[in-house]
Every structure is written in structure tokens, then in C-alpha cells.
Amino acid sequence: MPLNTEYGLEPDVAIKGMVADSRRGTTTRTKIAKASIKPGLLITNTDDGKVELPSAQGDYIVGATLWTTTLVTEENGEAVYKGGRAVPIVTEDAIWLEAQEAIDAETLVYAVITTNKGDVKSTSGADTTTKPVGRAETATTGAGQLVRVKLMPALQGA
């Protein structure tokens, strides 16, 4: 996995879950994961105060799991935060997330709640949350590409 080896405020290399712009500062929280979760995914609160991937259209998105250089990679090659352990969450600010369709810059994005839970789409529907979670700052041409998203809790009525 490529690492950011320069000290720029807007690194050229993007990794899913990486903060996209260090000039703004980053609003983060730490929550406990209900089950193992990868970095770079949108999450919601559970009834017991833990966090998990969104699964309902009305889910309130509290933020996205943050990728860090200290995240341990499992033997299978995946980097995950284990269930029952602390997870750093970006609640506002720009972060790199995975798009599940083509997204134009400056459009609102919604959390995916079915296949590829926790990723983003620019069209709201039966497979996304009803309220947007932020605004795309870059564009994509199709699914599986990284998009820079400015998370904005106010869009959900926060």
C-alpha cells in the first residue's frame, strides 16, 4: 500500500479513509465498533452506543472511519478495526471515500446501505440513506473510484 511520504497539506496520493485536506483541521471522535470495520466507510450509531455500517434509509451517519498509518494489517492483507475496539471517526471535513457510481464534483452524496455498505452515491434511492452526508469535492467516472467528500452533518439535520 502506498504511503504519503511528503509533507504537503493536500497529498497527491489518496487512500480510502485518508483525510484529504490538512489545512482545515479535522473533527474526529473515537467510538467502539460493534463488529470489525474497515477504514474509509461511513458509519452510524447503534442502540448500545457503538458504531456499525448503515443499513436503513433513515440512519444518521456520524462520520467515516479514518485510515491511519498505524492501522494493523491482518494476515489476510486487510486493514480493519476489530469489533469491541476503538475506532477513529472523521465527523466533518474532507475525506477520501469510495464511489459506487459516477459522481460529479459539487454534488450531494448519500451513504450506501445495501451492497458496498458505507460507500457513497450521488443518487438517492432504495439502496442509500434519504438524507445526504456531504458534498463531493472531486468527480469520478464510475464505481470503485475514490472521491473526495466533505462530510457535512448539518445536511442530516444535526
SS (H, E, C) 65-125: ECCCCCCCECCCCCECECCCCEEEEECCEEEEEEECCCECCCCEEEEECCCCCCCEECCCC
Phi, psi of 70 (to 5 degrees): -95, 5
* pLDDT computed for residue 24 by the predictor: 55
Q: For the residues 18-43, what does the mean pLDDT come to?
A: 84
pLDDT, position 16: 84
Residues 146-156 have a mean pLDDT of 94
Structural domains of the chain sorted by starting position, each given as residue range(s) with its CATH number in brackets: 22-156 (2.40.300.10)
pLDDT at 8 over 70: no
Tens digit of each residue's pLDDT (9 = 90 or more) over 95-134: 999 999 999 999 999 999 999 999 999 999 999 999 999 9
Q: What band does 150 get if pLDDT is binned at 50, 70 and 90?
A: very high
Q: Does the structure show a pLDDT above 50 at 1? A: no
Mean pLDDT in residue range 31-42: 95
Furthest C-alpha separation in the chain: 41
**pTM, 2 dp:** 0.87
Counting beta carbons within 10 angstroms of the beta carbon of residue 130, is it exposed (0 to 12), middle (13 to 18) or buried (19 or more)? middle
User: What pLDDT is stored for residue 71 in this prediction?
Assistant: 81
- pLDDT tens digits along 13-23: 677 888 776 66
Residue identified by cell 439535520 is 157
Tell me what pLDDT residue 143 has. Answer: 96
As a whole number, the mean pLDDT across the chain is 88
**Which pLDDT belongs to residue 101?**
97
